[in-house]
Amino acid sequence: MQAELATRSRQFTRARRPGAAEAVAGVLALFFLVSAIAPQVLAPGDPLAIHPLSAFTPPNFAHGFGTDESGRDIYTRVVHGTQYSLLIGAAATAIGLSLGILLGTLAGMFGRVVDFTVNRFLEVLFAFPGLLLALLFIVIFGPGVATATIAVGLSTAPGYARIIRAQLRSVRSAAFVEAATVLGRTRWQILLRHILPNTLAPLFVLATLGIGQAIVWAATLSYLGLGAEPPTAEWGAMLSAGRTYITSAWWMSFFPGLFIVLTAVTATVLGRSIDRRMRHA
Choice from 239, 241, 270, 274 touching other proteins (CB under 8 A): 239
Assess contact for 131 and 192: CB atoms under 8 A.
no
Query: Which string of b and e fits 64-74 if b means at least 16 CB within 10 Å?
Result: ebbbbbebbbb
Residue 87 or 245 having the CB closest to other proteins = 245
Q: How far is the CB of 40 from other proteins (least distance, A)?
A: 27
Provide φ and ψ at 37, rounded to 5°: -85, -45
Assess contact for 157 and 100: CB atoms under 8 A.
yes
Q: In whole angstroms, what is the distance from residue 280 CA to residue 137 CA?
A: 41
Q: How far is the CB of 189 from other proteins (least distance, A)?
A: 10
Residue 50 or 177 having the CB closest to other proteins = 177
Residues in contact with other proteins, counted by CB under 8 A, come to a total of 70
Indicate the Cα dihedral angle 263, 151, 114, 195, nearest 10°. 30
Q: How far is the CB of 177 from other proteins (least distance, A)?
A: 9
CA atoms within 13 A on the CB side of 258: 12
Q: In whole angstroms, what is the distance from residue 138 CA to residue 158 CA?
A: 18
Binding mask 182-211 for other proteins (x = CB under 8 A): xxx-x------xx--xx--x----------
**6-14, 31-39, 50-58, 71-79 -> range binding other proteins (CB under 8 A):** 6-14
Hey, which residues between 11 and 50 contact other proteins (CB under 8 A)?
11, 21
Angle between helices 20-37 and 251-280 (to 10 degrees): 120
Assess contact for 271 and 208: CB atoms under 8 A.
yes
Hey, which residues between 124 and 183 contact other proteins (CB under 8 A)?
124, 126-132, 135-136, 138-142, 174-176, 178-183
CB-based contacts of 274, cutoff 8 Å, min separation 6: 204, 205, 208
Nearest CA to 207 out of 164, 165, 239, 177 is that of 164
Residue 95 or 190 having the CB closest to other proteins = 190
Q: How far is the CB of 246 from other proteins (least distance, A)?
A: 6
Residue 102 or 177 having the CB closest to other proteins = 177
Q: Is 253 in the site for other proteins (CB under 8 A)?
A: yes
Residue 38 or 81 having the CB closest to other proteins = 81
CA distances from residue 237 to 101, 176, 253 in whole angstroms, order as listed: 31, 50, 10
Binding mask 105-124 for other proteins (x = CB under 8 A): ---------------xx-xx
Residue 49 or 142 having the CB closest to other proteins = 142
Binding site for other proteins (CB under 8 A): 2-4, 6-7, 10-11, 21, 120-121, 123-124, 126-132, 135-136, 138-142, 174-176, 178-184, 186, 193-194, 197-198, 201, 212, 216, 219-220, 223-226, 236, 239, 242-243, 246-247, 250, 253-254, 256-258, 260-261, 264-265, 268-269, 280-281
